[in-house]
Amino acid sequence: MKKGMIECSVCHSKLLASPSSKTVSRAYDRHKSRVSSKQKALNVLLVVGDCMLVGLQPILVYMSKVDGKFEFSPISVNFLTEVTKVVFAIVMLILQARSQKVGEKPLLSMSTFVQAARNNVLLAVPALLYAINNYLKFIMQLYFNPATVKMLSNLKVLVIAVLLKLVMKRRFSIIQWEALALLLIGISVNQLRSLPEGTTALGLPVATGAYMYTFIFVTVPSLASVFNEYALKSQYDTSIYLQNLFLYGYGAIFNFLAILGITLVKGPSSMDILHGHSRATMLLICNNAAQGILSSFFFKYADTILKKYSSTVATIFTGIASAAMFGHKLTMNFVLGISIVFISMHQFFSPLAKVKDEPHNGVMELKEEDPQRYSLFSPSH
């Protein structure tokens, strides 16, 4: 295989890993030397912010429903979310440019923009994958019930880890792999009660096509996240707001093309993207947009795995909060599930899980992991 190419472990297709992964590490390593322990606090802030946004989500979804269902087209939500993110990125860019000191490379000049656009063209890949994923979600719900979809989504954790190993050359110790498996198991235990009676026996979906849909459903968003992390980190010196502008710009274009396509098939009523929207749905769109923007901070300054743990912790806190507010009793599943998740989290981020680089036990992954890997580096504005 040529240098700079990587092979996907699942589909065996050759992927272009250019700029080579060495460049990623170099750009990232250069940054790491500037990271201080104080920024661990920012890492916590990132998770706390994520938890709040994820916690708001079900309330906004509930408020957005009219007579128990959505009146708007799901595609319009995706498009409006992308547009909101683009607007946010532009506003932040302007604010950042205003506070620039004399002598700094101007952020808003045409040459900076063109140069950055050329360097960050790779962001089109995650943007396309995200757009595809948004449609897949709706397709999946035709084949499986929502609880099964949720259960299958948990597999993403492991797929993401495998992709990080392949694309980002991340190394996980055996304890860390087990921690990720435990995360998957912990979330599943928590969800067990919500599965309909028939599916608790291990006979999930057995239709021939279902396996393929499941595979795609799990792989596409995982690829999107990991490529997003890769693309954002590989151009570490580009402002994150500029990177977001490209990412969400591509996203808006792909979603707009989809709306156009659907209009051609279904007729002009699909073009009415504001149909069925209310103040609540606008809040929902803002929340979605904020979650997306926070994700890009996770991907650039922390990583996809921390984002996954963050989402899980958010779900747990939502569960506890709703139990406290509505007087629900916590189920045994919930208590066992979150115990597993917290043990998993401790094991994954524990320095004990990171093993010295010595020939030991025949395990390949036992490389020293950088303890600063998960610290947040605040953008240099």
Which residue from 35, 300, 19, 29 is spatially nearest to 167, judged by alpha carbons?
19
CB of 342 to a second copy, least distance (A): 10
Gap between the Cα atoms of 166 and 21, Å rounded:
10
Strand partners, 59: none
Nearer to a second copy, 51 or 340 (CB): 340
Q: Cα(279)–Cα(285) distance, rounded to whole angstroms?
A: 10
Residue from 66, 260, 271, 330 binding a second copy (CB under 8 A): 330
Minimal distance, residue 313 CB to a second copy, in Å: 18
Quick note: the x/- pattern for a second copy over 276-315, rule CB under 8 A, is ----------------------------------------
Q: For residue 133, count other CB atoms closer than 10 A to its CB.
A: 20
> Do residues 127 and 254 touch, judged by C-beta distance below 8 A?
yes
Quick check: bond before 221 cis, omega within 30?
A: no
Q: Is the dihedral of CA 286, 292, 298, 300 positive or negative?
A: negative
CB of 208 to a second copy, least distance (A): 20
Q: Which is nearer to a second copy, 35 or 343 (CB)?
A: 343
Q: Shortest distance, CB of residue 181 to a second copy, whole angstroms?
A: 6
CB of 205 to a second copy, least distance (A): 13
* Residues from 129 through 188 that contact a second copy (CB under 8 A): 173-175, 178, 181-182, 185, 188
**What Rg do the C-alpha atoms of the chain give, in angstroms?**
21
Dihedral pair phi/psi, residue 375, rounded to 5°: -80, 150
CB nearer a second copy, residue 274 or residue 352: 352
Q: To the nearest whole angstrom, how small is the minimum distance from the Cβ of residue 175 to a second copy? A: 6
Of the pair 6, 195, the CB lying nearest a second copy is at 195
> 279-301 and 40-64 are packed helices; what angle lies between their axes, rounded to 10 degrees?
160
Q: Which is nearer to a second copy, 216 or 323 (CB)?
A: 323
Residues between 335 and 374 with contacts to a second copy, criterion CB under 8 A: 335-336, 339-340, 343, 346-347, 350-353, 355, 360-361, 366
Q: For 222, how many CA atoms within 13 A lie in the half-sphere containing its CB? A: 25
- Give me the least distance between CB of 354 and a second copy, in Å please: 10
Nearer to a second copy, 145 or 263 (CB): 145
Residue 14 DSSP SS3: strand
Q: Using CB under 8 A, which residues numbered 188 to 247 contact a second copy? A: 188-189, 192-193, 195, 199-203
Measured CA distances, 74 to 4, 259, 342, 353 (Å): 38, 10, 34, 42
**Min separation Cβ 231 and a second copy, Å:** 33
Strand partners, 212: none
Closest CA to 302 of 370, 214, 223, 255: 370
Minimum Å gap between C-beta 197 and a second copy is 11
Distance CA 70, CA 79 (A): 16
Q: Do the beta carbons of residue 289 and residue 281 sit within 8 Å? A: no
Which residue in the set 20, 263, 333, 372 belongs to the binding site for a second copy (CB under 8 A)?
333
Shortest approach of a second copy to residue 328 CB, angstroms? Answer: 9
Nearer to a second copy, 142 or 206 (CB): 206
Closer residue to a second copy in complex, CB, 1/206: 206
- Measured from the CB atom, the residue of 21 and 331 that comes closer to a second copy is 331
> What is the spatial distance between Cα 190 and Cα 333, in angstroms, rounded to a whole number?
5
Closest to a second copy by CB, 174 vs 216, is 174
Pairing of strands 14-16, 5-7: antiparallel
Size of the site for a second copy (CB under 8 A): 37
Q: Which residues bind a second copy (CB under 8 A)?
A: 173-175, 178, 181-182, 185, 188-189, 192-193, 195, 199-203, 329-333, 335-336, 339-340, 343, 346-347, 350-353, 355, 360-361, 366
